[in-house]
Structure 1
Amino acid sequence: MIQKHSIIQEYRMLLKEFFIGLKPFLIYQLFTAALIYILILPSFQLLLTSVMKSSPYQVLTNGVITKYLLSPQGFLTILLAMVLSIIVLLIEIGGLIVISNQIYTRHAPPTFKSIMVYCLSNIKKLISIGGLFIILYFFVMMPFINIAFRTSLVSNFSLPSFILDYVNQVPVLDLLLTFISIVLIFLSIHWIFALHITIIKDISARSAIRESYRLVKHHYFNFFKYSLGILLVNIIVIFISSIVSLLPIFLIEEWVNLSTLSGTIIVSILMTIYLLILFIISTFVFPINVHLITRLYYQLSGEPKHHLRLGSSQARWLTSMKKRTFNWLLFLTFFIATLITIVMVEDIKNTKYDVDITAHRGASVQAPENTLAALQSAIDQGADYAEIDVQLTKDGHAILLHDKKLSRTTGVDQKPSDLTLKEIKTLDAGSWFSSEYHGEPIPTLEEAILFSKDRLKLNIELKGGYNDEQLVNEVIRLIKEYHFNYQAVVTSLDYNLIEAIEDSAPYITTGYVMYMAFGDLSTLNTDFYSMEASTITEQFVYNAHILGRDVHAWTVNDIDLVTELVDDGVDNIITDDIRLIKNHITYLNSEMSFERILENLLEIIE
């Protein structure tokens, strides 16, 4: 049973043991990071690329992903991803568990080689049903609830905004998501010792999960008392450290001129100190959490201290670095980091963001979506584009409508393909939004083009599924007839529709709407990519720009995400809230202050 210690006493003992193993912890993390990022990840990426190239699909997007995963190459990809996850998990977290166990049991720190051999010998235990649950625990559950551990493969996991928006609109789905979140939190607490037990006791993953569940269940009070208590102390310590390291930066703000080189150097030195402190804290948090769980496991379980069979403990290079060498490395790190910070600060000071803004379905926050009123509101707010959704009526007219049915916006439970334009024009598409818009009609694409000409560019998204060839021809006809090709882009989730536009009217700019994308993007016959915002990375944008293609991000209503996206280099942001996004981009382009530079540095580092 756990010994009777106060939270502060337990925290002191935790830190005392941690600092005994500080060098092994830090050096091990440094070498494993190098091993993972320089060797393991590139090797697996090369393998996965080779597997995908052997399939009929050169790029995986939208529905193609499902088809690929059901193919032999898809099965091999899943298998390789599972092996990669197991290797990274055992090396990155399993190795820290081994070091933590050696420190707690007062055994000599092992060699890097012996840790690798011992951890990787557990691969066979994780290639099982129980192992699959442990993999899901670390790579899905923990990132989803955003606590405790982050691995090199997955630092966070969240549902895309378009899914969350849909879920929030449906009470049953919202309740289901809440229930799933509660279940994940419950399981994440009860399975917290599973990997520790697998590695320390050398038992199967399934047995380890069961033992972890029982251990937490029988010691709820002590588990929460010490884990939450120490977590609270950690938060206080981190908060105080951050404040103390930030104080010098803001105390000199009045005396330092950021426009001068000397001012930039002084600020860069202070910010380097702050960022290094943050880095050290974040580096400490991971092994401290691992060691906390090690201590809790032994004290709650009453297990005798396990001696792991690690082979020879000679030539313990994890602890053999001389103090003088360590100090020189520390100074060199600080010097290089300061030079890098100076360059970054200068770059941030000179950065101006040029990003177009697209009003999603028109200004759908201020007016009913896909109406002329929404287009007018988008114009009034200074949007560059309005995204509109286009479908065909029964008699072949292109109208503005997002859903498959008219029920949500008009109350009529029919598809547009079931009604003629004359019948659709009798419907009220505004009252559902506000009585102010009672009688607002559903516009045709022709009306939208005439309304927007020389005032607003249109992102015309084709909603396929009914007479697609006629839809493509009608959109091309209208754009050509009104000489609107310089004010319009045509997009779709259906790649066949994009290819049809490219084949019939290559002078029209097209954009392929994607939830995510993997593979050779150059094989896509489109002019730009319209990507779900949460899947966009700086590397993706860079690759797109190398091909001469822009990146549009959808649907963005969060200023933190806007900052990330503009730093990544996206060209267009599709949003429901035009004012919010415009004001934030204006703020990002405003004169630099200490706070803004610090914000940008933290964004870049993250």
Structure 2
Amino acid sequence: MKKIKNVFRYLHYTFGLLKLNIGTLLVFELLYKFASMAVFKPLLTGVMKLALKAQGLSYLSDETIGTFIRSPLTWFFLLLIVLGMAFFTLFDICCIITCIHASFRKQAMPLLALMRKGLKTSLRVIYQRNIVMILYLLIIIPMTHALVISGYITKFTVPQFIVDYIMTHTWLAILYIGFWIYIGLRSFHWIYSLHYFCLENCNFKQARKRSWKLQENHYWTDLIIVLGWSAACIGIYYGVILVGSWLVSRVNQALPTQDLFSSLTLSGISLLMDVCGALFFCFDLPLFFICISLLFYYRKAAAGERIPRVFRDLDNAYRITNTRWVKKIYVYRKRIIALSIVVVIGVNFAYNFADRRGVLHMGLGNPVEVTAHRGYSAAYPENTIPAFKGAIQVGADWAELDVQQTADGEVIVMHDSNLKRTTGLDKEVWQVTWDEIKDLDNGSWFDKKYQTVRIPTLEEVLKVCRGKIHLNIEIKPSGHDKDLEEQVAKLLKKYHMRDTCVVSSLKYDSLRKIKEADDSIETAYITSVSYGNFTDLEYADGYSVESTLLSKSFVNKAQKAGKQIYVWTVNSEERLEKVVGMGIDNVITDDPVMAKELIYEQEHSTFWDRYVKQLLQIGK
């Protein structure tokens, strides 16, 4: 009972700490989030474009990234970006810690004074002894701070195919996960270092040492408190979202025919949920540092250390709240808030009403097509006749396959350049003839019941698939090919499948050769890196892009230029929803059944079904 009372006393004190300067902190975080989206992101884009232009490149792809990375100019520009991100992040954190400390000392903190102090403190990162802080800011904080999960400027995504490769190799997976757990636990000793840096004018080396000493004998207690606090905040947020979702569902069920009243009610609920989402978006990082700040003050008091004093330069600080226009806004605040609510509800109502009437679904958009990656490779051995028949059976729109050329010129369907993984023969495709490999077991590696499955030729696959499914044929040149592209073009012409196939490749030169052999064949340029201006590639009719590195701006730019967008390889529902929402044309997946079902569900769901899902994604 005593512990429960202590928890409530702690929470009461926490919210009391927030109360004094919550307005200043909210305005600052709104400005910070806006700057991260409206200023810093375009600035980063400009630096990247400058780096590309300096090397005579207009885009980054798998073919050009090697040239880009090897250039000293690239590393110079990347250093500028890293330093900018570190400084921008540190400025945010310094302002948060400063504002919390002012509240702790019961001082009102003006916005401009807060920003000035945060800027002055964060500029100390340029000193030589503070360089290590850059790594801490860009790697450690996003990984260990559970609340930094929405709009964090240094957030990055590892390409899915790299993660898949790691996770399918047990030791690599253990090392990968173990490394990040070790780094997280090790760096938790530095949890108070930013407070020492901001409030006691320490360099980062001194701050780390003092943090380590302050946390001595309290490591696991502090870790449990921080994790518990983070879990509680996230739980409250999702609790509000779930309650709001339940209200939306109940209103929809209770008032299915009263369009006007139902739409207005739902718009009001959606506004409430939007406000909750916006508040969490702005306060995820401050909430985390409130927890750390309270622990910091408690540990210092218990250790007999002097807690930093009040700020002495706030009495004459310029206060925006004293200006005439701010006072006028304050006088009319109720009218402004009411008008804003009416406008937001009106927009939501109009959108909801139009959605219910079908105005937003006029049949102008094409549905996203599904491509079975290497055939139905989730259920059958990849790139085999059973896999392609399986894809046809489950209703996939397309099947993707890889083609290579043997030593005697036969075009076969095989992904790896080496035959060992699927057949057991440790030789390169270009080193063997068709007669040497045509009887190899190409199915037992997947399941013993497929031991009679063999490597198919492209011609065999065309015979099976003609008139039943479209094909995405990826050309994988080895450098030892004779006429791979020409042979593919001839086979498509022979079987009258030029209109039902697209030929893709990581090598742009292969697309050129296909177009020179038959310019009626559609082509797609494959890349895991999709940055820059791809639209001037005359031999590419579309782009096949790795899913985790795809951006909405890339999709819009490509489709505006009349290019098709294929996305690979999407095997999770969350990732599929994200890329489909970008307006792509075709998704490549190992599991076409899952993809077809989810896309059908999205196309036939109501606006509010989609809206609730989007709300649940806030912070992910």
- Per the normalisation by structure 2, the TM-score is 0.89
For residues 406 and 155 of structure 1, do their structure 2 counterparts lie closer, same or farther at Cα, with a shift above 3 Å needed?
A: same
Paired residues of 1:476 and 1:505 also in contact (CA < 8 A): yes
* Equivalent in the alignment of 2:606: 592
Q: CA deviation at 1:438?
A: 1.7
C-alpha distance in 2, partners of 1:373/1:132?
A: 57
Deviates further, 295-304 or 130-139: 130-139
How far residue 464 of structure 1 moved from its aligned partner, in angstroms, is 2.2
Q: 1:37 to 1:238 in 2, by over 3 A?
A: closer
For residue 604 of structure 1, report the CA deviation from its aligned partner: 8.9
Distance of aligned partners of 1:184 and 1:312 in 2 relative to their CA distance in 1, 3 Å threshold: same
Shift in CA distance, 443/130, structure 1 to aligned 2, threshold 3 Å: farther
Report the 3-state secondary structure (helix = DSSP H, G, I; strand = E; otherwise coil) of the residue aligned with 2:535: helix
Corresponding position: 1:34 with 2:34? yes
Correspondence 1:65 to 2:79: no
> 1:215-266 CA distances to partner (integer Å, 9 max, x unpaired)?
3344214413532443354345435544554454333333222683443232
Which shifted more, 145-154 or 557-566?
A: 145-154
1:304 is matched with 307
Aligned alpha-carbon RMSD (Å): 3.0
Shift of 1:209: 3.3
* Closer, same or farther: CA 117–284 of 1 in aligned 2, 3 Å: closer
Partner of 2:348: 341
| 8 Å CA contact 2:252, 2:262 repeated in 1 | no
Q: Secondary structure at the match of 2:430?
A: helix
**CA gap 1:604/1:184 in 2 versus in 1, 3 angstroms:** closer
Secondary structure, in 3 states, of the residue corresponding to 1:370? coil
SS in 1 for 2:84: helix
Q: Which residue of 2 aligns with 1:291?
A: 290
Is the Cα–Cα contact under 8 Å of residues 51 and 77 in structure 1 kept in the other structure? Answer: yes
Determine the C-alpha separation between the residues in 1 that align with 2:257 and 2:479.
Answer: 59
Q: For residue 11 of structure 1, what is the aligned residue in structure 2? A: 11
Q: Secondary structure at the match of 2:267?
A: helix
CA distance in 2, matches of 1:344, 1:188: 47
Distance 1:146 1:61, change over 3 A: farther
**Conservation of the 8 A alpha-carbon contact between 2:63 and 2:506:** no
Mapped partners of 1:604, 1:14: distance in 2: 25
1:409-467 per-residue CA deviation (whole Å, 9 max, x = no partner) reads 11111111221101110101112212222211100111111221111111111122232
Going from structure 1 to structure 2, the CA distance change for 1:140 and 1:438 (only over 3 Å counts) comes to: same
Give the direction of change, closer, same or farther, for the CA distance of 1:319–1:341 in structure 2 (3 Å limit): farther
Is 1:206 paired with 2:205?
yes
Q: Shift of residue 602 of structure 1? A: 5.2
Instruction: Report the Cα offset of residue 360 of structure 1.
Output: 0.4
Q: Are 2:430 and 2:481, in contact at CA under 8 Å, matched by a contact in 1?
A: no
Work out which of the residue numbers 576, 597, 618 in structure 2 matches 1:583.
597
Aligned counterpart, 2:85: 85
Q: Which residue of 2 aligns with 1:555?
A: 569
Report which stretch shifted further, 529-538 or 588-597. Answer: 588-597
Question: Contact 1:460 / 1:491 at 8 angstroms: preserved in 2?
Answer: yes
Question: CA offsets per residue over residues 376-408 of structure 1, 9 Å max, x none?
Answer: 000001111111011111111111111121111
Unmatched tracts of structure 2, length 5 or more: none
Q: 1:310 to 1:252 in 2, by over 3 A?
A: same
Q: CA deviation at 1:63?
A: 4.5
* Amino acid paired to 1:316: R
Task: Give the match's secondary structure for 1:552.
Answer: strand
Deviation for aligned residue 1:122: 4.1
Residue 59 of structure 1 aligns with an amino acid whose one-letter code is Y
- Give CA-to-partner distance per residue, 1:276-319, whole Å, 9 cap, x none: 22322443333222222222222223442244576764232269
Give 1:333 shift: 3.4
How far apart are 1:105 and its partner, in Å? 2.5
1:571 corresponds to which of 582, 585, 597: 585
Which stretches in structure 1 are left out of the alignment for 5+ residues? none
Q: Show the 5 A alignment for 1:109-508.
A: 109-112=109-112, 114-127=113-126, 131=130, 133-144=132-143, 147-150=146-149, 152=151, 154=153, 156-235=155-234, 237-257=236-256, 260-301=259-300, 302-307=305-310, 313-317=316-320, 323-346=330-353, 350-351=360-361, 354-468=367-481, 470-508=483-521
- Structure 1 residues 588 and 36, CA gap change in structure 2 (3 angstroms): closer
User: Any conservation in 2 of the 1:129–1:206 contact (CA below 8 Å)?
Assistant: no
| Deviation string, structure 1 residues 4-54 (Cα, Å, up to 9, x no partner) | 992322222111111221101111112233344334433443343234222
Is contact 1:109–1:313 with CA below 8 Å preserved after alignment? no
Change (3 A) 1:468 1:327: farther
User: Which range moved further: 4-13 or 268-277?
Assistant: 4-13
8 Å CA contact 1:258–1:264 kept in 2: the answer is no
Q: Percent identity?
A: 26
What is the Cα deviation at residue 78 of structure 1?
0.9
The 2-side partners of 1:400 and 1:146 are apart by 46
CA distance in 2, matches of 1:404, 1:569: 33
Maintained 8 Å contact 1:194/1:208 = yes
Secondary structure of the residue that 1:234 maps to in structure 2? helix
Q: Is the contact between residue 60 and residue 519 of structure 1 (CA under 8 Å) also seen in structure 2?
A: yes
Helix, strand or coil: the match of 1:121?
A: helix
Give yes or no for the alignment of 1:519 onto 2:532.
yes
Q: Give secondary structure in 1 for the equivalent of 2:567.
A: strand
State the Cα distance separating 1:361 from its structure 2 match.
0.5
Deviates more, 1:52-61 or 1:139-148: 139-148
